[in-house]
């Protein structure tokens, strides 16, 4: 962990302890923290939707922060420019998780944001190398979602673990698109 991340962790702990003293504990059953989604569903939807579900996840969490933490922002703008704002989002999320008694992710906001940005940039590299590195976008989202779900009672209490009919349609269509994309790039190249 870098020295910068350690300083951020100390600042997050300080802010969380100051807020915790003045705020009553939140009931996990009635008031969930952040966007609720199962980690398997999050990872699969991010992968099969070519990352668009990850943007939806980011938008939902910015929206939560605006409504519950007095963060002044336009969630859709911060989602549209997510590589510029993802560090700020992850920092706010970790502070909220710690404030509500949750565990801090094993990576700090700097490393999580770096992983997201590297995955975002790498996904633009043509070929299989870029495709594989582009999967790094999913890692920080899943790591934060694990902490959110643990705080809200675990995956078994998360209401958004099952795939809806719309999710299944998206999975099937994007699975076909993935297959056609890879077949045209790697199988039928010659």
- Give the DSSP letter string of 73-140: --HHHHHHTHHHHHHHHHHHHHHHHHHTTPPPPSS-HHHHHHHHHHHHHHTTSSSHHHHHHGGGGHHH
Token couple for 43: 């990872």
Instruction: Indicate whether 135 belongs to any domain.
Output: yes
SS (H, E, C) 150-162: HHCCCHHHCCCCC
Asked if residue 78 has pLDDT above 90, the reply is yes
Predicted pLDDT of residue 168: 94
Instruction: Indicate whether 162 belongs to any domain.
Output: yes
Predicted pLDDT of residue 26: 42
User: How many domains would you assign to the chain?
Assistant: 1
pLDDT digits (tens, 9 = 90+) for 92-124: 999 989 988 888 888 999 999 999 999 889 888
Instruction: Indicate whether 4 belongs to any domain.
Output: no
> Which residues form the domain of 87?
34-187
Instruction: Indicate whether 8 belongs to any domain.
Output: no
In total, the chain counts a number of residues equal to: 190
Asked if residue 21 has pLDDT above 60, the reply is no
Predicted pLDDT of residue 16: 53
Instruction: Indicate whether 18 belongs to any domain.
Output: no
Instruction: Indicate whether 143 belongs to any domain.
Output: yes
Predicted pLDDT of residue 48: 87
Q: Are 126 and 106 in contact (CB under 8 A)?
A: no
How far is Cα 92 from Cα 61, in angstroms, rounded to an integer?
A: 10
Instruction: Indicate whether 22 belongs to any domain.
Output: no
Q: Are 37 and 145 in contact (CB under 8 A)?
A: yes
Mean pLDDT of the chain: 82
């Amino acid at each position: 962990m870098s020295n910068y991340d350690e300083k951020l962790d100390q600042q997050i702990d300080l802010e969380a302890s100051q807020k915790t003293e003045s705020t009553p504990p939140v009931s996990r059953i009635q008031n969930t923290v952040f966007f609720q989604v199962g980690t398997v569903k999050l990872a699969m939807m991010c992968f099969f939707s070519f990352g668009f579900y990850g943007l939806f996840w980011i938008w939902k969490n910015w929206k939560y922060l605006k409504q519950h933490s007095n963060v002044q922002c336009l969630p859709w703008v911060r989602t549209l420019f997510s590589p510029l704002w993802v560090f700020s989002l992850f920092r706010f999320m970790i502070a909220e998780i710690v404030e509500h008694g949750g565990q801090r992710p094993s990576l700090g906001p700097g490393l999580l944001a770096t992983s997201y940005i590297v995955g975002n940039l790498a996904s633009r590299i043509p070929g299989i190398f870029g495709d594989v590195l582009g999967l790094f976008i999913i890692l920080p989202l899943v790591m934060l979602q694990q902490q959110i779900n643990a705080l809200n009672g675990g995956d078994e209490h998360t209401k958004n673990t099952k795939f809806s009919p719309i999710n299944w349609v998206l999975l099937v269509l994007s699975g076909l698109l993935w297959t056609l994309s890879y077949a045209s790039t790697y199988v039928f190249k010659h």
